[in-house]
Structure 1
């Protein structure tokens, strides 16, 4: 079984690897980004009843669950008032988090009592979707199933827009590299373009993934590996261009999080 590490680098190591400019004004994670991350983490924790239940399912049962989940969204099977938790005018972050805690309690109760019918919100759907992608890859080692589910989501643009967050694109970058990237960087580059076009700039995990991909690419390019035992050329001129583009994206992502 193919195993690769996509562990995150420490922020202090980013400046050397990304060759960042000498400017001292290095962007840091904004308060809004931190708040969003906390909201996503709280929602994912509230869904443990459902995700633990899903962990016991077969590959076909898992796919059926997600097909049903998509249909529920298309059929408006959710509370429109709480689906998107918006910050009210003059509301503090603390007050918003209190409302989220109350909603997460509802999500958690439903997840424990009826795990097959989780409460749908704009944070719950991505959490469930990302769990499915990870499960198809880590439990079943089935990149095709993960890709099938991702493409099914794209059949409905409203669904696709809700399902995908930064973590989704990170997972799909790993899927494309692990299962399809050893012969071409085409799909990897397309996923980065898709991510950016949908408004996601990348995070520390994106940085770690792109760094690993490029390190592996250059290792295979220079000599014999398990994927290239004879050391014969397997990369095209187009892949060289794609690697350069991915390298630039790596620098851009790293510069956002580098520390002085």
Structure 2
């Protein structure tokens, strides 16, 4: 066995074993979060993606059924020709929103074993995440409503888009302030409103840090979603939505853990 010299006592000690966890158990720097995200994806990415695809299977089958029924109705002209668009667009939106919530719940369920270096299975990860999907989805919808609601209401009232420019910084600020709410709902088993309060408390004093982690992770996921279909063809096109949903979540989860570590044990749940 290889040995190394230690300066304490001048003796020989066995080499250190590899760190089993994906992050050091201390407040994290930006490089720690990036390294931890890549390590998490390297160790658990296959199981995370597998659980996401397996969890989306039922929704995908339902989406295919809706698309088939809408296409048949449009071709036979039993209803108006616009039924395909009017039916399929909301179905796709709901499918993506549910997938987004599932990906966040899976990443939150993965946090504890990843940080502690414990093994997980695809089915075990899916079983742990499934009960938290409604709360995660609720937190996600409330965060979107808080950020985009005022602008959407102004558009519905007939204001021109240029008049909404002053609302853009507010929407961005609120979006980042509540960015950790879905992870809080999944990891701490909080309700949607409590998760938004928790995110606001965690992000307070670290808005730019949160922005600097979540936005680049989303941009990288978007780039990967475009690049994978070009490289792998049809298979890549099938995997691209899952990558877009799953890739940013570990970075947000590790940032969430970092904020918990920094604020310490005094941060009580709820």
TM-score normalised per structure 1: 0.28
Higher relative contact order (CA 8 A, sep 6+): 1
Larger Rg: 2
Q: 1 or 2, which has the higher helix percentage? A: 2
* TM-score calculated relative to the size of structure 2: 0.27
